[in-house]
């Protein structure tokens, strides 16, 4: 075995393996070693987060890494995220308001069995000439970007030492470099999670004998979505795996659900019986087939560093992770690996990357922090059907309009794009962050004044025309100039979406005019009607187009639970 490398990747999970593949595909001569603590192949249905991908992460796996054919043949397609609201009728799934796709989406995503997938990645890396060392326990990392970093590890009782130009920490929550260098960073968002795998396929369509409801979708389509059962302070997931097993998870805010009430398997089943009784009833026959169980307190975590000018960085969960609600794990890996690999490859080819490392770290930190308001203090809304329906569509709109579009067009490693969108006080990135914070605050205020029980409704986001367009546009490739212009156009759509949501809710809850102009960056339900009417006459107040207004009519619910 060689002991001199260009890159040492500490950790052979999804983040580390995909980073190695990205580097080796772009630069076949680069020398890479992956040091993984696991001694043997990962088991099928490996107990890891990141089974469910969404558009950004899927693009990375399919297009950047070239794994499209493998994913189509050996992993399951994912028919989007599927949500069941109406906690007032938890025992009757066919009466719950359902949000999800009615057919396969044109921009794909996948349900990934992590064990099978990581074993495949390892085999491919070995074929490409990457050294993957299993059973390697990291003992020490001595960082010296001038003379070369030194990594000491043990394997089978023997100590080994290697030197390298770059170190990438992909050790997951162990956060080796984070602990060594002390750049842990507190994160206000606090949730707890448990998850387990059961043997066998679970299709929620079978949970009702209502044929009309069953036939709303083609056979098997519901099973292939990432199922979310929603209630105040929590959500429960069901994720199908290609191995024929099913992943089950509970994620809850401790303000509403004490972790001690579901942090063991028996407790989790009792918790489900109380909070999602139909789910508990349908899972009971699978109880003897539980494969594993894991509990994780304070799921989310932040990082004070991502990329250093001294040729090291952190990727995946070794850096920061926020919340699993929208399946963003592979997204964070994809973006982090893209920045990390760009720095390593440019340096390998002789470029000074110090300024890029500084820029990438600042943008990464800002990107992560801009997503915190989507989740922080928002679990209290999860039992409010109308508010959550609109919030989810807003969050999707933001995700497709800017972050994912930038990724599919290589915007995150283009300094011209980054400067245009993120470097001044009124840049698009700053405005988007302010707009999103304003909306998330609004959702909390709306939740306080309205919590009606709606039932018996199916909504397909793909039937909302402007959201469908944002989704389809992810496949378009733009020049730098056109990409910046498209982001500005999409932000304008989001501003109108926000203004129309504000207007509709204000008219209902406060009696303000239905045609009142709205400043989407300043609106608040806590303002008096007089203040809102005054605001409508000032700079920044906008009308919305008839198309946006008409599109959003589709997501306002009408059928209420009979009293």
pLDDT tops 90 at residue 46: no
Asked if residue 52 and residue 171 are part of one domain, the reply reads yes
Average pLDDT for the chain: 95
Helix (H) and strand (E) counts in the chain: 18, 19
Distance CA 533, CA 438 (A): 18
Asked if residue 199 and residue 250 are part of one domain, the reply reads yes
pLDDT class for 559, splitting at 50, 70, 90? confident
Q: Is residue 353 part of a domain?
A: yes
pLDDT tops 70 at residue 563: no
Does residue 305 contact residue 314 with C-beta atoms inside 8 Å? yes
Asked if residue 527 and residue 449 are part of one domain, the reply reads yes
Count: domains in the chain: 3
Please tell me the predicted confidence (pLDDT) of residue 528.
Answer: 95
Q: Of 511, 516, 509, 507, which is closest to residue 536 (Cα–Cα)?
A: 516
CA atoms within 13 A on the CB side of 377: 11
pLDDT tops 70 at residue 45: no
Q: Which of 45-59, 214-228, 380-394 has the lowest mean pLDDT?
A: 45-59
Q: Which of 360, 383, 406 is the last residue of a domain?
A: 383
Element (H, E) at 387: helix 385-399
Structure tokens at 422: 């993120």
Burial 398-419 (b: 16+ CB within 10 A, else e): bbbbbbbbbbbbbbbbbeebbe
Asked if residue 543 and residue 514 are part of one domain, the reply reads yes
Asked if residue 37 and residue 24 are part of one domain, the reply reads yes
Asked if residue 64 and residue 98 are part of one domain, the reply reads no
Please tell me the predicted confidence (pLDDT) of residue 451.
Answer: 87
pLDDT in tens, 226-244: 999 999 999 999 999 998 9
pTM, rounded to two decimals: 0.96
Please tell me the predicted confidence (pLDDT) of residue 383.
Answer: 97
Please tell me the predicted confidence (pLDDT) of residue 49.
Answer: 54
Asked if residue 84 and residue 63 are part of one domain, the reply reads no
Q: Which of 299, 332, 357 is the last residue of a domain?
A: 299
Please tell me the predicted confidence (pLDDT) of residue 51.
Answer: 74
pLDDT tops 60 at residue 117: yes
Asked if residue 161 and residue 38 are part of one domain, the reply reads yes
pLDDT tops 70 at residue 506: yes
Please tell me the predicted confidence (pLDDT) of residue 378.
Answer: 98
Distance CA 118, CA 104 (A): 26
The torsion angle over the Cα atoms of residues 69, 74, 75 and 79, rounded to 10 degrees, is 60
Q: Is residue 389 part of a domain?
A: no
Does residue 197 contact residue 47 with C-beta atoms inside 8 Å? yes
Asked if residue 282 and residue 336 are part of one domain, the reply reads no
Q: Which of 283, 299, 315 is the last residue of a domain?
A: 299
pLDDT tops 80 at residue 56: yes
Please tell me the predicted confidence (pLDDT) of residue 356.
Answer: 97
CATH number of the domain that residue 216 is part of: 3.30.9.100
Asked if residue 353 and residue 240 are part of one domain, the reply reads no
pLDDT tops 90 at residue 44: no
pLDDT in tens, 384-400: 999 999 999 999 999 99
CATH number of the domain that residue 65 is part of: 3.50.50.60
Does residue 85 contact residue 230 with C-beta atoms inside 8 Å? yes
Give the pLDDT mean for 27-52.
80
Domain housing 470: 394-563
pLDDT in tens, 177-204: 999 999 999 999 999 999 999 999 999 9
Asked if residue 410 and residue 338 are part of one domain, the reply reads no
Q: Tell me how far apart the terminal alpha carbons of the chain are, to the nearest angstrom.
A: 73
Residue partners of 158: CB distance under 8 A and separation at least 6: none
Ramachandran assignment for 287, one of left (phi > 0), alpha (psi -120 to 50 degrees), beta (any other) = alpha
Please tell me the predicted confidence (pLDDT) of residue 47.
Answer: 52
Asked if residue 214 and residue 330 are part of one domain, the reply reads no
pLDDT tops 80 at residue 526: yes
Does residue 169 contact residue 318 with C-beta atoms inside 8 Å? yes
Distance CA 300, CA 134 (A): 28
């Amino acid at each position: 075995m060689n002991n001199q490398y260009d890159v040492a990747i500490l950790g052979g999970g999804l983040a580390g393996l995909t980073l190695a593949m990205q580097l080796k595909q772009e630069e076949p001569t680069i020398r890479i070693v992956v040091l993984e603590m696991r001694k043997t192949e990962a088991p099928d249905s490996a107990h890891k987060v990141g089974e469910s991908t969404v558009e950004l992460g899927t693009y990375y796996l399919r297009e950047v890494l070239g794994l499209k054919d493998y994913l189509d043949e050996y992993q399951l397609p994912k028919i989007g995220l599927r949500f069941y609201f109406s906690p007032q009728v938890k025992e009757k799934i066919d009466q719950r308001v359902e949000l999800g796709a009615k057919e396969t989406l044109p921009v794909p995503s996948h349900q990934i069995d992590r064990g099978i997938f990581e074993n495949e990645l390892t085999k491919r890396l070995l074929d490409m000439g990457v050294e993957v060392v299993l059973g390697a326990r990291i003992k020490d990392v001595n960082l010296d970007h001038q003379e070369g970093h030194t990594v000491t590890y043990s394997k089978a009782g023997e100590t080994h030492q290697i030197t390298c130009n770059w170190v990438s920490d992909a050790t997951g929550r162990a956060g080796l470099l984070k602990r060594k260098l002390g750049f842990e960073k507190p994160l206000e968002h606090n949730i707890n999670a448990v998850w387990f795998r059961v043997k066998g396929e679970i299709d929620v369509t079978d949970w009702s004998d209502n044929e009309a409801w069953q036939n709303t979708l083609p056979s098997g389509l519901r099973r292939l979505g990432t199922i979310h059962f929603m209630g105040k302070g929590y959500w429960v997931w069901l994720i199908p795996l290609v191995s024929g097993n099913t992943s089950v998870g509970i994620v809850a805010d401790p303000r509403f659900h004490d972790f001690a009430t579901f942090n063991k398997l028996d407790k989790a089943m009792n918790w489900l019986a109380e909070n999602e009784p139909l789910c508990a009833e349908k899972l009971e026959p699978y109880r003897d087939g539980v494969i594993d169980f894991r509990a994780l307190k304070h799921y989310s975590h932040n990082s004070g560093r991502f990329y250093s000018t001294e040729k090291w960085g952190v990727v995946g969960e070794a850096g920061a992770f926020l919340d699993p609600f929208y399946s963003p794990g592979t997204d964070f890996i994809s973006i982090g690996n893209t920045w990390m690999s760009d720095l390593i490859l440019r340096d390998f080819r002789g470029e000074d990357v110090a300024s890029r490392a500084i820029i990438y770290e600042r943008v990464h930190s800002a990107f992560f922090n801009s997503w915190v308001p989507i989740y922080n203090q928002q679990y209290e809304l999860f039992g409010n059907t109308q508010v959550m329906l609109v919030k989810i569509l807003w969050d999707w709109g933001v995700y497709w309009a800017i972050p994912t579009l930038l990724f599919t067009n290589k915007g995150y490693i283009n300094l011209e794009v980054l400067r245009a969108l993120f470097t001044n006080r009124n840049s698009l990135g700053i405005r988007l962050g302010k707009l999103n914070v304003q909306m998330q605050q609004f959702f909390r205020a709306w939740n306080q004044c309205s919590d009606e029980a709606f039932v018996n409704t199916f909504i397909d986001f793909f039937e909302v025309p402007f959201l469908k367009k944002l989704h389809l546009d992810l496949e378009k490739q733009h020049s730098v100039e056109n990409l910046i212009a498209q982001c500005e156009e999409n932000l304008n759509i989001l501003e109108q979406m926000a203004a129309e949501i504000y207007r509709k809710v204000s008219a209902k809850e406060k009696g303000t005019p239905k045609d009142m102009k709205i400043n989407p960056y300043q609106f608040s339900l806590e303002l008096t009607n007089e203040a809102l009417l005054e605001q409508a006459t000032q700079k920044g107040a906008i009308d919305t187009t008839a198309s946006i207004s008409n599109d959003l009519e589709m997501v306002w619910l009408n059928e209420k639970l009979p009293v």
